[in-house]
């Protein structure tokens, strides 16, 4: 192929007002209809941004690791086989999986396929009885007869997952809870607890609901996060409420078999409570991840280049939350625009790092390209299709951060072979959330990066890669994976 030299090199911009914390050293249920509508309107971008071409190699010494980022302790029969920084998360459902029937057994039938694919953790949908079939409007917490199956099926699934070395995570919805009965004021704000169980009862009253919830007549303290309209917001400042939630989570851990948590809508309550919810159950060093859908910055021409504000919001939350991770919504949005509009200059920030949360705190960033809200059958904010997902997975499966793969992408959309191969490349070369990254080139139609001096990753439609960046066979480089607008080389 023809080769040309990159014509210019941009001067890095100043970092701005973003605070750099010692722990942020770079080494390497959105069911809100208003926000979803805003996101759909903002998917198209005609930004005529100029070229960004920069060389950056940024590493942090091992001494900078924070205590919560140390390799995890033994968390049970399967967790001991996997270090958090090496995790590859698989989302074990789509938005309409609840309609399939017997979903727990469907997942069980795919355990060998998931093991062969190299997935280390699986995120399962909310297990409790729910007003909404998908599980995100829970009512009777201890009642595990849901649209996905029953308690016994879920116990057997968790048992077999752990036997295969895959760590099961439960989707924990504790920002809100649907009440069972109307109170004296005629509002649904009385909760029943109809299942016999160990631990504290969850037959709460108005005291469990925040006093500033606009619809449900709560008598608790003010909300410590954003309001969630469809259901009563819970008062997490209440010791009794938190204690009963912890008891329920311990039951899910010890009686059902979960070894980690995915927390829904964590912007709805204070991050400081996460240390109790995790620390008193599976532990702060288990794989626990929150969903904080930080709104990205949009302008008249589409997504703005600088997304420091939303990713700093995520860093601020992480600093209060102990050892929990967050899904990297900024990386998802930036990567989607880069692929959709051939704007690969977006994939480097002003300081030469990855532009999302993974650029600030890769060991706490769970990267993904779609989930049950953004993609699946909801399509609130989907990644570009027509095999462009391959480019997205080539990025997150070769870069720092902990990648998450969506069920439909692997089993339903014909991307399974590509994803499996990229996972093999990642594992074979020891790439994890701490791997170092050197971004060599980021222009409109091409992106080139070196990962831990073991991989060279090229994204974009341009084939005339600058000569000095082309991996040479006589230096031990060999093509490891190719696909839609990507190529990955590994060093032999």
Residue from 171, 213, 233, 264 carrying the catalytic annotation:
264
DSSP 176: B
Tell me the Cα Rg of the chain. Answer: 23
**Residue 299, number of CB atoms within 10 A of its CB:** 11
Phi, psi of 381, rounded to the nearest 5 degrees: -155, 60
C-alpha distances out from residue 355 to 107, 341, 362, 374, 477, Å: 34, 17, 11, 20, 27
Question: For residues 427 and 73, what is the distance between their CA atoms, to the nearest angstrom?
Answer: 21
Residue with tokens 């008598």: 219
Instruction: Write the burial class of residue 343 (CB in 10 Å: 0-12 exposed, 13-18 middle, 19+ buried).
Output: buried
Q: Cα torsion at 10, 361, 94, 98 (round to 10°)?
A: -160
Residue 379 and residue 102 in contact, taking contact as beta carbons nearer than 8 Å: no
Residue from 69, 247, 291, 351 carrying the catalytic annotation:
291
Beta strands in 282-363 (DSSP E): 288-290, 298-299, 302-303, 325-327
Task: State the maximum Cα–Cα separation within the chain, in Å, rounded to a whole number.
Answer: 80
Residue 485 among the catalytic residues: no
DSSP 75: -
Residue 291 among the catalytic residues: yes
Residue with tokens 């590859």: 88
As annotated, the active-site residues are 264, 291
């Amino acid at each position: 192929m023809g080769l040309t030299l990159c014509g210019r090199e941009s001067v890095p911009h100043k970092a701005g007002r973003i605070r750099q914390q010692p722990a942020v050293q770079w080494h390497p249920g959105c069911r809100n209809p208003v926000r979803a509508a805003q996101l759909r309107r903002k998917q198209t971008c005609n930004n005529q941004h100029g070229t960004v071409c920069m060389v950056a190699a940024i590493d942090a010494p091992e001494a900078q690791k924070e205590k919560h980022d140390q390799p995890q302790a033994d968390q049970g029969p399967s967790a001991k086989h996997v270090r958090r920084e090496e995790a590859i998360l698989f989302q074990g459902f789509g938005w309409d999986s609840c309609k399939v029937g017997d979903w727990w057994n469907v997942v069980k039938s795919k355990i060998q396929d998931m093991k062969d694919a190299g997935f280390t953790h699986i995120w399962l949908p909310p297990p409790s009885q729910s007003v909404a079939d998908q599980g995100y409007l829970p009512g009777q917490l201890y009642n595990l007869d849901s649209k996905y199956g029953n308690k016994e099926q879920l116990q057997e699934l968790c048992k077999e997952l752990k036997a295969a070395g895959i760590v099961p995570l439960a989707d924990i919805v504790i920002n809100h809870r649907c009440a069972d009965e109307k109170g004296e004021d005629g509002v649904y704000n009385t909760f029943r607890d109809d299942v016999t169980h160990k631990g504290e009862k969850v037959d709460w009253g108005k005291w469990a609901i925040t006093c500033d919830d606009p619809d449900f007549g709560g008598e608790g303290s003010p909300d410590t996060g954003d309001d969630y309209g469809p259901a009563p917001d819970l008062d997490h400042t209440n010791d009794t409420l938190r204690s009963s939630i912890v008891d329920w989570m311990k039951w899910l851990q010890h009686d059902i078999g979960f070894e980690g948590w995915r927390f829904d809508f964590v912007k709805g309550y204070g991050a400081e409570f996460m240390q109790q919810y995790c620390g008193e159950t599976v532990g702060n060093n288990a794989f626990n991840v929150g969903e904080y859908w930080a709104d990205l910055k949009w302008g008249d021409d589409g997504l703005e280049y600088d997304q420091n504000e939303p990713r700093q919001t995520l860093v601020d939350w992480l600093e209060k939350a102990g050892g929990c991770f967050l899904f990297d919504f900024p990386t998802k949005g930036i990567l989607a625009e880069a692929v959709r509009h051939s704007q690969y200059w977006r994939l480097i920030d002003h300081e030469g790092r990855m532009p999302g949360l993974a650029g600030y705190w890769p060991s706490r960033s769970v990267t993904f390209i779609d989930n049950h809200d953004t993609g699946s059958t909801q399509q609130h904010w989907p990644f570009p299709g027509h095999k462009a997902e391959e480019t997205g997975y080539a990025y997150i499966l070769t870069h720092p951060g902990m990648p998450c793969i969506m069920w439909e992408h692997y089993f339903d959309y014909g991307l399974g072979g590509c994803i499996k191969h990229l996972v093999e490349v990642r594992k074979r070369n020891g790439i994890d959330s701490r791997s170092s990254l050197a971004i060599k080139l980021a222009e409109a139609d091409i992106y080139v990066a070196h990962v831990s001096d073991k991989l060279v990753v090229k994204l974009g439609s341009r084939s005339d890669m600058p000569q000095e960046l082309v991996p040479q066979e006589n230096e031990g480089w060999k093509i490891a994976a190719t696909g839609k607008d990507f190529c990955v080389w590994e060093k032999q």
